[in-house]
Structure 1
Amino acid sequence: MTPYPEEPWHLAGQMYLSLWLVPARELPRVADGTRPVTVAGRGVAGAAWVVYENDSVLHYSELLRAVLVRDGHRPRVCITDIWVDSAASMTGGRELWGIPKEMADFDIDRTDGVRAGAATEKDVLTTAAFAPGRRIPGRWPLSYRVAQTLDGALKTSRVRSRSTVRTARASWTAHESGPLRELSRRPPLLSLALEDFTLRFGDGAPTAVTPSAAQDRDRGPGR
């Protein structure tokens, strides 16, 4: 078994994200116990290239597709397709959170905008080009939960992030016989570059409170 860090994972890097409104019949299958959020027969799907670097617990590249879903009335994000170039990330993602990670080779060039491609031994997955635009002032926080199937049950995991945000223009080209072929059928509704993000993925084990610590907490400072 490939070793991997315990949760939560603290990650940092760059993300290049596009969002689409997709006819419900074209959405990929989502986790059991969830349903896509749809309006007028369309759902929200996203795809992203991610480079985990800087202070990340693991350094690797990633390509993912996800769908906005609901768990009851609660909005969630379901990762339906995902590839990485780290065996530790693949194993950890599957075993900790039920994220269906597969291995792929990546070519990501960030010298002039962003040009990215990914392929497995069987498929050329997709290529994309991003041209980052205007920076939106501030660093933007985001908190949500990912919903996946783990050991036959619904597993939700908390994600908290903060990043600088830029608008972007993006084009995606996917092989017609590949698993991401729908990405080429229409232009993205919105594309963003999330620069120098920090991210905490997963829920840590609860901290045990000893009786003496509990008494000190209840007394409060100076008592």
Structure 2
Amino acid sequence: MTYPTPPWTLQGYAIQTLQLIDIERVRSLIPPEFDIVSLLPGKTLGGVYLSLYGSGSVLEYSELIVVAGRVRYSGKTGGWISHIYVDNHDSVAGGREIWGLPKEIAEFTWEKCDHVAWPTANRSTRYHHRVTVRQGENTLCRFSYNHAKFGWQMPLPLTLNDNVLSTLSGNILYFNGDFKSRLGLVASQLEVPPESPFANLGLKQPWLTLDMDKLCLTAGEPQVVGQLNSSLMIQA
């Protein structure tokens, strides 16, 4: 299987939620060498990133990233990606072998509905867009949202994926994600079924959702910044 060498340049569209997550829920997912950054007492900053990379990208694919929180190691701070799914096998291999990310294959359905309400378990909503991510018969998540009606072109230093810490073969890796996009704030609704692998993170309704149109992302080459000292090894 072949994949591009880093850096990877990806272009398209993305949605990013920002959510508070209980630190006690994610501690077991993160090696003890990392300190979990607290935003509020007992809470770290996490969320969900959904993207569709198209023409102009080194690979074309959809992606779901679940950031379980912010972590710190040896003076470097970044997001900790606990779950990540794509619909491209080359992306899976590159993500695992270059960046130490636990990528898995999933199916993405991007839908648009201008006139009919989306049905949910308890009510209908008036969101015009929805993306559903599945693995086989299991739904990982369903995300409904509206596109922003306005935005401004700018670098995105505050996204969860701007800097990432990960592990690979006992090494601790650090890499940058350089984002530029037309940015807007939108209303959204996130549904995570009980059977989803990340349901135990307790992801609630997003308190902030960023709409990223005309996105250009560069995933940089990782640097080795340390080694795992414990017997807990995160499989890349």
Q: TM-score range by the shorter chain?
A: 0.7 to 0.9
Q: CA deviation at 1:179?
A: 1.3
Question: Hey, what does 2:150 align to over in structure 1?
Answer: 135
Q: CA deviation at 1:88?
A: 0.2
Compared with structure 1, are the counterparts of its residues 51 and 111 closer, same or farther at alpha carbon in structure 2 (3 Å cutoff)?
Answer: farther
- Please tell me whether the aligned partners of residues 12 and 198 of structure 1 are also in contact (alpha carbons under 8 angstroms): yes
Compared with structure 1, are the counterparts of its residues 32 and 53 closer, same or farther at alpha carbon in structure 2 (3 Å cutoff)?
Answer: farther
Question: Hey, what does 2:93 align to over in structure 1?
Answer: 91
CA–CA separation in structure 1 for the residues paired with 2:35 and 2:87: 30
Is 1:82 aligned to 2:97, yes or no?
A: no
What letter is aligned with 1:179? P
CA–CA separation in structure 1 for the residues paired with 2:31 and 2:96: 14
CA–CA separation in structure 1 for the residues paired with 2:210 and 2:156: 15
Question: Hey, what does 2:191 align to over in structure 1?
Answer: 173
What letter is aligned with 2:211? A
| Structure 1 counterpart SS, 2:186 | strand
Q: CA deviation at 1:19?
A: 1.1
CA–CA separation in structure 2 for the residues paired with 1:184 and 1:134: 30
- Please tell me whether the aligned partners of residues 5 and 92 of structure 1 are also in contact (alpha carbons under 8 angstroms): yes
Question: Hey, what does 2:231 align to over in structure 1?
Answer: none
Is 1:154 aligned to 2:146, yes or no?
A: no
What whole-Å deviation, never above 9, does each CA across 1:15-40 have from its counterpart, x for those lacking one? 11111111111226135632221131
- The CA RMSD over aligned residues, in Å, is 2.2
Question: Hey, what does 1:30 align to over in structure 2?
Answer: 30
For structure 1, the residue ranges without an aligned partner over 5 or more in a row are: 206-223
Question: Hey, what does 1:55 align to over in structure 2?
Answer: 56
For structure 2, the residue ranges without an aligned partner over 5 or more in a row are: 115-127, 224-236
Compared with structure 1, are the counterparts of its residues 176 and 75 closer, same or farther at alpha carbon in structure 2 (3 Å cutoff)?
Answer: same
| Structure 2 counterpart SS, 1:142 | coil
Q: CA deviation at 1:185?
A: 5.3
Greater than 6 Å deviation, 4+ residue runs: none
Compared with structure 1, are the counterparts of its residues 195 and 154 closer, same or farther at alpha carbon in structure 2 (3 Å cutoff)?
Answer: same
Identity %: 25
Q: CA deviation at 1:145?
A: 2.2
Higher alpha-carbon deviation: 126-135 or 50-59: 126-135
| Structure 2 counterpart SS, 1:16 | strand
TM score, norm. by length of structure 2: 0.79
| Structure 2 counterpart SS, 1:126 | strand
Rg bigger for which structure? 1
Query: Which of 172, 183, 189 in structure 1 is aligned with 2:207?
Result: 189
- Please tell me whether the aligned partners of residues 48 and 65 of structure 1 are also in contact (alpha carbons under 8 angstroms): yes
Question: Hey, what does 1:213 align to over in structure 2?
Answer: none
- Please tell me whether the aligned partners of residues 9 and 57 of structure 1 are also in contact (alpha carbons under 8 angstroms): yes
Q: CA deviation at 1:139?
A: 2.3
| Number of residue-to-residue matches in the alignment | 204
Q: CA deviation at 1:60?
A: 0.3
What whole-Å deviation, never above 9, does each CA across 1:184-216 have from its counterpart, x for those lacking one? 6521111111111111112299xxxxxxxxxxx
CA–CA separation in structure 1 for the residues paired with 2:149 and 2:75: 35
CA–CA separation in structure 1 for the residues paired with 2:205 and 2:3: 37
| Structure 1 counterpart SS, 2:190 | strand
- Please tell me whether the aligned partners of residues 61 and 86 of structure 2 are also in contact (alpha carbons under 8 angstroms): yes
Higher alpha-carbon deviation: 39-48 or 26-35: 26-35
Question: Hey, what does 1:40 align to over in structure 2?
Answer: 41
CA–CA separation in structure 2 for the residues paired with 1:170 and 1:183: 19
Q: CA deviation at 1:135?
A: 2.6
Question: Hey, what does 1:12 align to over in structure 2?
Answer: 11
Q: Which has the higher strand share?
A: 1
